[in-house]
Structure 1
Amino acid sequence: MPYGDNDWLALTAEPALEPGLPICDAHHHFWDFRMDRVPYHRYLLDELAADVNSGHNVRSTVFLEARSMYRPDGPEELRPVGEVEFVQGIAAASATGLYGPTRAAAAIIGHADLALGDDVAHVLDALQAASPNRFRGIRYNAGWDPNPELDSRSVEHKLADPQLRAGARVLADRGLVYENVVYFPQLAELAEFARAVPDLTIVSNHIGGLIRVGPYGNRDDEVMPAWRDGVAALAQCPNVVMKLGGVGQPRYGFDWHTRTTPIGSEQLAQEMGPLITYCIDQFGPDRCLFESNFPPDKVSFSYNVMYNAFKRMTSGYSASERASMFHDNSARIYRIEY
């Protein structure tokens, strides 16, 4: 099985649609020597440049933490600073223009343990020092599920932890962003958390953590209404915005990564479109951000096909609404200036 190989992806070639439409890719990763779970063991500036320079007008990107390049020693809570130091160097290389016009990692989201409570302040200080001009917030994974088949990275009801909420308030006081990862049954908990910290900008990753495999496979009659209800509840919180993407990961239940010939943008828009447009309907175009989630989503389709599909599925929105979702919302939330 090719599983995202570049030669396999090249079998479905398309010209970029609407190549002038400005894009800020709100979510991607960098890593090297990563051997777990994904086939892309290396994804650095060369690899990203090859993807974003495929014909779309990607003006900037946002880097999301990936538990990579941590410091090998020192205080445990400060080890994630190594990742931000690493990406700050990549961003500086991109800013030279030698890799193309895209400003990669124009905003950087690192990691800090919010459960430190007020003590998270010194970690945030170190992250800010590592990237004085690009650090914009942290991602904290609160994903938990009772099914052992799933990769729970937190404990049950972690978002209700008073220490975590205290740490979140430190983020809010500094005007930093909180990127959240949960599984879809936790969306009501995330909404409760959002109401408890109303001054914090919360970015819900990957359309709210839908799962349609394993314990949630072949159960769309139960799973989809639960996901829709969770998204609708979360949308009632004005401090939450939704990232549109991440659906190329196999856990979303599509077979795109198994095909002999990669999916094209027309069919991808038809199959992914109902999920994306439901999120837009609930949150509104001014609170939605398109993301690539590359390289994890690259196992299913190419960067060019993905953005063609995003453009197809939003063709009925106004020019200003599309500008917001593809670029302006991300530039505002992550304070990206050109």
Structure 2
Amino acid sequence: MPDESIQAALKAHPVADLAWLARRKEEIVEPALPIIDPHHHLWDHPGDRYLLDEALQDFTSGHNVVATVHLQCRSMYRASSPEEFKPVGETEFINGIAAQSASGLYGPTKVCAGIVGTVDLLLGNRVEPVLESHLAAGGDRFRGVRPTIVWHESKEVLPADNVPNVLSRPEAMAAVKSISKFGLSLDLWAFFTQLDEVAQVCRDNPDLTVVVNHAGGPLGIGPYADRREDVFVEWRKKLEIVSRCENAVIKLGGLAMRYGGFAFNELPEPPSSDLLVENWKRYFDVCIELFGPQRCMFESNFPVDRGMCSYQVLWNAFKKLTRQFSETERQCLFSGTAARVYRLAD
């Protein structure tokens, strides 16, 4: 059975209703456009399985997904290892899935061509043996780490009992230095209220690529449920500070999680790509304006975001809201930035 933190995470997201999602059919926009999906998860939780077969149903549903990157999600941890080494089990498992995909027997999409695992930043420089184990387990696919640093004081926002202000702790600062020394990237999922800490990490580690997840975490639930415009202004201000750091890149996605407060899953019919564009375009416009296409990449965040929209509709929306950009800029947004950041071979 999953531990308490996994149970809290599962409760935090709406469960995907596949029959409901199937009620929305759209013609695929620009089906030939190559996509690298730089942020998805594979897991097998009680009543919620999303492994290679399930993922391929999405990746091959019409869009030209040429490769993907798996992000840690507390899946397949080792049962009998020292606590700090348990997450290496996820890397071992995902590397096996990647090997399945690389055989070519499951189609041309290179699933899990890149792997991002996790470590406990509070280990300080004792994180280095764990990083070495991840690199050994992931072979030439292990690209970076995403530690748990997301936190909010409101249980309406985040029900899990995560540690506050992790990035400001001396142990974490030392661990981040080790991650940089190993030539790995650092993915950070943080709410907009934590972006000051993210900016400080970027400034303190100029040689480290820091990947800001989920558009910098704007919130629309709990104490922010009726403050969308105030949040937008504050989010933009904080994100602008992060964007000044040339080593920071950002993932455009994650707004179909419950945290954004869009609640598309409560609609009688699944959202259309036009509805997603209507609600999200200004957020992604800000991200692209601040970071530039060369430091932005669209992400699916599946299967989490599948709780509110289908894979087909999601990428249709991303394509529609970037029609004003040049071919070169769109190549960065849909594949180029991801290939560079995660060092994926052609």
TM-score tier (shorter): over 0.9
Question: Which residues in structure 2 correspond to 1:187-266 (within 5 Å)?
Answer: 187-266=195-274
User: Which one of 21, 29, 38 corresponds to residue 26 of structure 1?
Assistant: 38
Distance of aligned partners of 1:235 and 1:67 in 2 relative to their CA distance in 1, 3 Å threshold: same
Give the partner amino acid of 1:254: F
Give TM-score scaled by structure 2 length. 0.93
* Counterpart-to-counterpart distance in 2, 1:149 and 1:88: 35
Using a 3 Å threshold, how does the CA distance of structure 1 residues 133 and 273 change in structure 2: closer, same or farther? same
Counterpart residue type for residue 16 of structure 1: I
Aligned Cα root-mean-square deviation (Å): 1.4
User: Structure 1: where are the runs of 5+ without partners?
Assistant: 36-40
Give the superposition deviation at 1:81. Answer: 0.4
Q: TM-score, normalised by structure 1?
A: 0.95
2:95 is equivalent to residue 95 of structure 1: no
Structure 1 residues 1-338: aligned runs within 5 Å: 4-34=16-46, 41-151=48-158, 154-338=162-346
Deviations 1:178-207 (A, max 9, x none): 010111111112111211111111101101
Give the CA deviation at 1:148: 3.1
- Whether the aligned pair in 1 keeps the contact of 2:39 and 2:70 (CA below 8 Å) is yes
Alignment match, 2:10 = none
- Take 1:15 and 1:101, find their aligned partners in 2: how far apart are those partners? 22
The answer on whether the counterparts of 1:16 and 1:54 sit within 8 Å (CA) in structure 2 is no
Deviation string 1:12-66 (CA, Å, 9 cap, x unpaired) is 111211111110001000000246xxxxx10000011000111111000000000
Aligned length: 332
Question: Separation in 2 of the partners of 1:159 and 1:256?
Answer: 32
| Superposed displacement of residue 3, structure 1 | 5.3
Identical positions, percent: 44
* 1:135-154 deviation per Cα after TM superposition (whole angstroms, max 9, x unaligned): 00110121122223332554
Letter in 1 for 2:249: V
8 Å CA contact 2:157–2:221 kept in 1: the answer is no
Which stretch has the larger CA shift, 139-148 or 296-305? Answer: 139-148
* Secondary structure, counterpart of 2:188 in structure 1: strand
CA contact (8 A) 2:67 2:111 kept: yes
Structure 1 residue 170, shift from structure 2 partner = 1.1
Contact 1:202 1:241 in 2 (8 A): yes
Deviation string 1:215-238 (CA, Å, 9 cap, x unpaired) is 211112321211111111111111
Q: Is the 8 A contact 2:39 2:71 kept in 1?
A: yes
How far is the alpha carbon of 1:155 from its aligned partner? 2.9
Q: Which amino acid aligns with 2:180?
A: A
Moved more, 5-14 or 316-325: 5-14
Are 2:154 and 2:222, in contact at CA under 8 Å, matched by a contact in 1? no
**Aligned partner of 1:104: which letter?**
V
**Residue identity in the other structure for 1:145:** H
Query: Contact 1:3/1:257 (CA < 8 Å) preserved in 2?
Result: no
Q: Distance in 2 between matches of 1:4 and 1:143?
A: 23
* Paired letter, 2:64: N
3-state SS, counterpart of residue 229 of structure 1: helix
Secondary structure of the residue aligned to 1:165 is helix
Give the C-alpha shift of residue 272 in structure 1: 1.2
SS at match of 1:42: strand
Q: Which amino acid aligns with 1:134?
A: R
Say if 1:3 and 1:258, in contact at 8 Å, map to a contact too.
Answer: no
Match of 1:38 in 2: none
